[in-house]
Chains A and B, each alone.
Chain A
Amino acid sequence: MPDLPNPSLDSLELLLAHPLWPRVGMLLRLLFHAGFAGLLFRFGRQMRREAMVPAKAYWPSVLSLFGGVFLCVLAVRQADWQLMGQRNERFLAFMQRYDRREFNPAHRFRAGRITDRKGRTLAGSRVTEGGIRRIYPYGPVFSHVIGYNHPLYGMTGVESAGRNRLMRGSLRTREDLAHFGAALLDREGHTEGPPLTSTLDVDLQLLAHTLLEGQRGAVVFLDVRTGDILALVSRPEFDPNRLPPRLFSGQAEGSPLLNRSLAGLYPPGSVFKILVAAAALNEGFTGTLDTPADGFTTSPANPRIRDHDYYIARRAGREWRGHGRIGLAEALAKSSNVFFAQLGIQTGAEALTDAMDAVGMLSRFTLSERPEATLTQGPARLGALSDDRPYGIAQFSIGQGDLLVSPMQIAMLTAALARGGETVFPRIDLAQPVRTGRRLCSEEHAAALRWMMRRAVTEGTGRGAQIPDITVAGKTGTAQTGAGRESHSWFTGFAPSEDPMWAFAVIVEHGGYGSRAAVPLVRQMLQTAVQEGWLVP
């Protein structure tokens, strides 16, 4: 081992401790980069000079081409991490959680606020000792739709769907690019991202959340003109401010993480008859069908499809005579299974599937610009529908059998009718444009169906939804769920019925008849909202 002298460098230390030194140091940093670049420039000149000597073999230059391309790829890859690392959300989360360099800009990076349509904060960032924390002032009320943003568990809901905006991760607009450039030069410039205004309404959401208290189910409330989601409730829920590990272990009761309004899959029951009616009108159906009391079936092997009234009468020990020969309006108001089973078979599998496709039930769509976000609506679950198996169509037409849909899809169906037959895709971000889809049916047919749904409320199964201040139209549903358990209770509709502004779909799991659980909920919700002035017809 060489014995090198090792005195301390006091004079140098004095120089470095001089008050002027930090400025000199800044200068030296610049000098390093500039000097390095200058030297490389001179290298190039010298290189050209040396290149005057004629070369003999040309082969190795092919390899230099490869090397050059690879070097460029390296530099681009490095830039992707070093300059644009914040765009990779997992990388950003890793840095915020594990990096102890206090100068790392990732620590000052925080997502913007999420507000409701009136500017009330639904989610905000707070810088704490342990890093950046996301705060949700309303706690569990927006648990599914706003979601959570947690370093360990990732992101869901609008937190995930709007992340590019909230973090300025996208580089699409000129403003984003300008901010990105400024932040490259001034690394302290990274602060809070811009706020995202959602389409939600705190009052309606709170109201719907309270009304579902103690139940399992979902409420979807849409503005039919724009597709704005005014309320999106799913219960049971969780508190995004506190995420116990138990929640993610799959042992939590009632799967509180499941966003039932979008990802819940339920048999639609009678609410699906709206779609069958629309498809039948498209195919030119007019007139009446007979609805015998002992029901309808396609062959003796299959159980007979009967009306609810038959079961009610039988339970009461009475005899029921059937609805007789009735038209579409009366069948919808009375929710006659026998009628719709036959109507569906008449209409045909192709027209029925096409109607489902028209309201967007058969495809996946996302509520955000990020395809990987969790706020998406998947396709409905649908077994093979074919004219060769009429009984399958009959079951489909009364919303049973091999068919599962989400509350959002039913709300979209109703909204399409409410706005004259054209499908509108729901939106959660007020800044996004209104997106319309295919047409479900013509204006006249939509108007006819709206009138029928109004009739279902004035004199049919939805009578409980009538309130004095506003005219409601809708359709109840009672979806059988199998042995021994109460049916799911559905209600979907719109208001005001003459000039629809809002569409809704409500499901209460195992709530019994549609008129028993879902209808009173809607009634109370509309009544309160109109009285308080949250909804102005």
Chain B
Amino acid sequence: MAGSVSSVKKKNRSATSRPARSKKTKREGEASRAGAGETSRPVFFFFGIVGLVTVAQLLVLSARSGEGRALMLMDLWPYLLWLISSGVVAVGLKLARWRGSGVLLAGIFLLSGLGVVVRSRMSGMSPGVRDMNVLIQPAGFALLFGAWFCFRRERVRQLRPFWGLSLLLMLGLAAGMLALGSRYRGGLYAPGGMTPTEILKLFAVVGLAGFFSRTDAGWEGRGVLRPPLADALLLLVIWGSLGGMLVLHRDFGLFLLLSLTALVMLICATRRLSWGVVALAAAAGGVWGILRYFAHGARRFEAFLDPFSDPTGSGWQVLQGLTGMYAGGLMGMGLGAGRPERLPIASSDFVYAVYAEDAGFVGSVLLLLLFARIFSSGIRITRRQEETFSRLLGAGLVASLAVQTLVNIGGVVNLLPITGIPLPYISQGGSSYWVTSLHFGLLLALSDQK
């Protein structure tokens, strides 16, 4: 909203006071073209982005050669594959006449490129994560492109009838994982450390978007005091059973993420902020329950409240992350030049700490701004949707990504307890990467309106 207001102001100003006539007409011409939704070039920032990621990759290589390690082509594969795959995606979009949001697309390219560099910076740290994993990112881009292609230009509406199936799949998957999988955080460690529960995020978003947008549902305008009773009860049952199963997995982080996403969608569907009260109550109850019944969760909570009470035990991880950040300081050591070797789970949960050590506070703020741009562009896309289902879907997708980002970074900077949620497109990980790609692909499809 702020963006649109300021642009209107700017337009007024230029109409009244700007003397340079030719410039003004050019500006207005551009604006009218974009205003008609005619075009925004998919390769708009492409060269700038490629340049920046190349600089980052060079810095990493330079730091590595400074450590006296031999440079192999292997080190460059992730970067090269990113370069190729994003080029292919860009050309593909052009050929298939992409007309969506340039900011979102550019943001996705830049974010994925930075992620590739940051992960390649850590490949020397944990040997054995090279080989197969270089293909995760290109496969993710394929998914992203596929999602856009299948659901572009309002085709996303075809998803709506599947909301029931989606919710069923969500519950079924959670139950199946409980029956078959490892009992810890829904991980199936046999096939390459996949985490099937990641896909729950999509099932939940699609299912809830359809659930709230049914023509007979009547959620709109109903605050927490007068909910549509039958629907609300059904939702409560679904969410309660999902929560129960995830808690048995001890996957509090995922449940928190899904619940916050659902809350955002609920608020968007009803247009009543009063549901936030429910969230506060539920959060308080949840914290109490975790502290009371789950030693694992309680430990993390204590480590969050006072990491110094057990600095070499439960507080070690977050303190090591913060130590690295402090060592990086304002401008950072330069990408790849930090020393996060002693940081546990550096490549997934704490990747932000590694990045902050390398890029410094300035680089971190820039990354935060990049996330902010991506999400605000997602929100703008959402606001532009004509149909309730698409709007809710967009809100859910943005909420899911934003909550992941904020909760992950919040855990690293000790603003929230550590939850084990990865940072979208930056953290190491296969299934989460692909699910994030699908999120982005669907958002791109939503942005590409008729």
- Which residues of chain A have a CB within 8 Å of any CB of chain B? 1-2, 4-9, 12-13, 16-17, 21, 25, 28-29, 31-33, 35-40, 42-44, 46-64, 67-68, 70-71, 73-75, 77-79, 81-83, 85-86, 90-91, 94-95, 98-101, 103-106, 184-185, 187
Contact = CB atoms under 8 A, between A and B. Distances in A.
B87 interface: no
Q: Point out which of A1, A38, A43, A184 has the most chain B C-beta atoms below 10 A from its C-beta.
A: A43
B233 interface: no
A61 B322 contact: no
B384 A13 contact: no
Contacts of B51: 35
Given A94-B311, A185-B330, A50 B375 contact: no
A52 B35 contact: yes
Q: Point out which of B6, B106, B366 has the most chain A C-beta atoms below 10 A from its C-beta.
A: B366
Nearest to A37: B366
Contacts of A4: 73-74, 77, 134
A81 B342 CA distance: 18
Interface stretch (B37-45, B119-127, B432-440): B37-45
B10 A98 contact: no
A73 B415 contact: yes
Given A71-B372, A91-B322, A53 B384 contact: yes
B308 interface: yes
Nearest to B32: A52
A98 B107 CA distance: 38
B330 A184 contact: yes
Contacts of B31: 49, 52
A51 B74 contact: no
B25 interface: no
Q: Point out which of B132, B356, B362, B379 has the most chain A C-beta atoms below 10 A from its C-beta.
A: B379
B143 interface: no
A13 B70 contact: yes
B72 A187 contact: no
24 contacts: A5-B73, A6-B73, A13-B71, A17-B65, A25-B59, A32-B363, A39-B49, A43-B103, A56-B385, A57-B383, A62-B267, A70-B406, A75-B365, A77-B410, A79-B361, A81-B322, A82-B364, A91-B323, A98-B312, A99-B320, A100-B342, A105-B327, A184-B330, A185-B331
Interface string B352-363: 000010011111
Contact of B379 (A40, A53, A54, A61): A61
Interface of B: 1, 3-4, 6-7, 10, 30-32, 34-35, 37, 40, 44-45, 48-49, 51-52, 55-56, 58-59, 61-62, 65-66, 70-77, 101-103, 106-107, 110, 131-132, 134-135, 264, 267-268, 271, 273, 308, 311-312, 319-320, 322-335, 338-339, 342, 356, 359-366, 368-373, 375-377, 379-380, 382-386, 391, 394-395, 398-399, 402, 406, 409-410, 413-415
Given A12-B61, A33-B362, A57 B414 contact: no
Contact of B373 (A37, A40, A60, A77): A40
A46 B333 CA distance: 31
Contacts, number: 278
Q: Point out which of B106, B322, B409 has the most chain A C-beta atoms below 10 A from its C-beta.
A: B322
A188 to B, nearest CB: 11
A20 to B, nearest CB: 12
A52 B323 CA distance: 45
Contacts of A103: 327, 333, 339
A32 B359 contact: yes
Nearest to A17: B65
A59 B10 CA distance: 24
A13 B69 CA distance: 10
B288 to A, nearest CB: 23
B150 to A, nearest CB: 23
A91 B319 CA distance: 8
Q: What's the dominant secondary structure at chain A's contact region?
A: helix
Contact of A56 (B110, B132, B330, B386): B386
Contacts of B338: 101
B129 to A, nearest CB: 13
Contacts of A101: 323-324, 327, 338-339
B56 A90 contact: no
Contacts of B334: 25, 28-29
A78 B395 contact: no
Contacts of A73: 415
A96 to B, nearest CB: 10
A51 B77 contact: no
B52 A35 contact: yes
A50 B103 contact: yes
Contacts of A86: 326
A21 B62 contact: yes
Contact of A43 (B73, B323, B373, B384): B373
Contacts of A13: 65, 70-71
A47 B73 contact: no
Contacts of B383: 55-61
A1 B129 CA distance: 12
A25 B30 CA distance: 39
A6 B3 contact: no
B265 to A, nearest CB: 10
A16 B55 contact: no
A55 B132 contact: no
B222 to A, nearest CB: 14
A42 B45 CA distance: 8
Given A29-B332, A55-B384, A104-B326, 17 more contacts: A1-B132, A4-B74, A6-B73, A8-B71, A13-B71, A32-B363, A35-B48, A39-B45, A40-B369, A47-B377, A50-B34, A64-B1, A67-B402, A74-B410, A91-B319, A100-B339, A105-B326
Nearest to B371: A71
Nearest to B1: A61
Contact of A77 (B1, B375, B394, B413): B413
Nearest to A84: B326
A149 B73 CA distance: 51
B48 A2 contact: no
A367 to B, nearest CB: 25
B373 A47 contact: yes
Given A36-B363, A42-B48, A46-B106, A71 B406 contact: yes
A54 B8 CA distance: 11
Nearest to B135: A2
Contacts of A106: 323, 326-327
B103 A46 contact: yes
A40 B107 CA distance: 9
A68 B77 contact: no
Contact of B44 (A33, A46, A83, A94): A46
A59 B272 CA distance: 9
A59 B268 contact: yes
Nearest to B66: A16
Contacts of B410: 70, 74, 77
A81 B106 CA distance: 31
Given A52-B35, A53-B34, A71-B368, A6 B74 contact: yes
Q: Top 7 nearest A-B pairs by Cβ distance?
A: A104-B327, A52-B35, A85-B326, A55-B383, A61-B1, A9-B71, A51-B4
B110 A39 contact: yes
A46 B134 contact: no
A299 B357 CA distance: 77
A64 B375 contact: yes
Nearest to B31: A52
B388 to A, nearest CB: 9
B406 A67 contact: yes
A187 B52 CA distance: 26
A7 B311 contact: no
B364 to A, nearest CB: 6
B1 A82 contact: no
Given A8-B70, A29-B59, A71-B371, A50 B402 contact: no
Nearest to B64: A16
A183 to B, nearest CB: 9
Contact of B323 (A16, A37, A98): A98
A13 B70 CA distance: 8
